[in-house]
Amino acid sequence: AQRVTQPEKLLSVFKGAPVELKCNYSYSGSPELFWYVQYSRQRLQLLLRHISRESIKGFTADLNKGETSFHLKKPFAQEEDSAMYYCALNDGYTGGFKTIFGAGTRLFVKA
Amino acid sequence: DAGVTQSPTHLIKTRGQQVTLRCSPKSGHDTVSWYQQALGQGPQFIFQYYEEEERQRGNFPDRFSGHQFPNYSSELNVNALLLGDSALYLCASSSEQGAVDEQFFGPGTRLTVL
């Protein structure tokens, strides 16, 4: 069954430290993977998608099919990065898709 | 463009009642997906509507039903409410003509079942 696992509920780092939010997935086929972010009192929004291979707000994520992982990384955390982060995958495109989310990791960046 | 809007913001119901939640998609979007987010959990996919038809469904019972109107807005209906239906219900819209996988989320409706 398709599944997304985020092993850490909470991750606390100091400002300027590197951060890595872990995500593992289970999917038969080639997954479309995403990271969503929810800042305090804001709605859920797309941060980045693996197919774009882009860096957003200093964050990058590499798809590792061998390890079935899609970890989110940033070399130097900022206080404004404090938020809830969700890893997700899209299942199916022809005839619609469903998005499967992980349970989320709360990132807290300390001054 | 206000983006995705949902109403009402909050709702309190009792067990056994029925509820209808509403969603207006972002301008230019034609696809609406609904999610249930229980406290401390990630969003769980309920179903997706396109061209007024349900075309994808998650593992939710038939008590959960929906509708999409010609103007692309959508409703989520839940019958015979259970305490476990208490959650934040999120609506997301996307476009078949654009980046299909880019979803925009609404602020959610907080449903409390007593």
Interface test with A, best of B101, B102, B104 (most A CBs within 10 A): B101
A43–B106 CB contact, under 8 Å = yes
Mean per-residue pLDDT, A45-68: 89
**Is residue A85 over pLDDT 90?**
yes
Contact B43 A102 (CB under 8 A): no
Structure token digits, residue B47: 């179903």
pLDDT for A54 beyond 90: no
Query: What token pair was written down for A99?
Result: 């998005």
Subunit contact B42:A86, Cβ cutoff 8 A: yes
A53-71 as b/e, with b when 16 or more CB fall inside 10 Å? Answer: eeeeeebebebeeeeebbb
pLDDT at residue B113 above 80?
yes
Within 8 A of A83 by CB-CB distance, chain B residues are: none
Q: Which residue of B has its CA nearest to A86?
A: B42
pLDDT category of residue B70 using cuts at 50, 70 and 90: very high
pLDDT at B2 over 90: no
Cβ-based contacts under 8 A for chains A and B: 60
Question: Looking at A10-97, which runs of residues are DSSP E strands?
Answer: 10-14, 19-21, 24-26, 32-38, 45-49, 60-61, 72-74, 83-91
Best interface-test mutation with A: which of B23, B24, B47, B48 has the largest number of A CBs within 10 A?
A: B48
Find the CB nearest B105 among A43, A98, A102. A43
Question: What's phi and psi for A80, nearest 5 deg?
Answer: -70, -5
Confidence at residue A94, expressed as pLDDT on a 0 to 100 scale:
66
Q: Are B33 and A99 within 8 A, CB to CB?
A: yes
Contact A108, B46 (CB under 8 A): no
Residue B100 binned pLDDT confidence (cut-offs 50, 70, 90): low
Under DSSP, the state recorded for B40 is: T
Nearest CB to A44: which of B31, B44, B105? B105
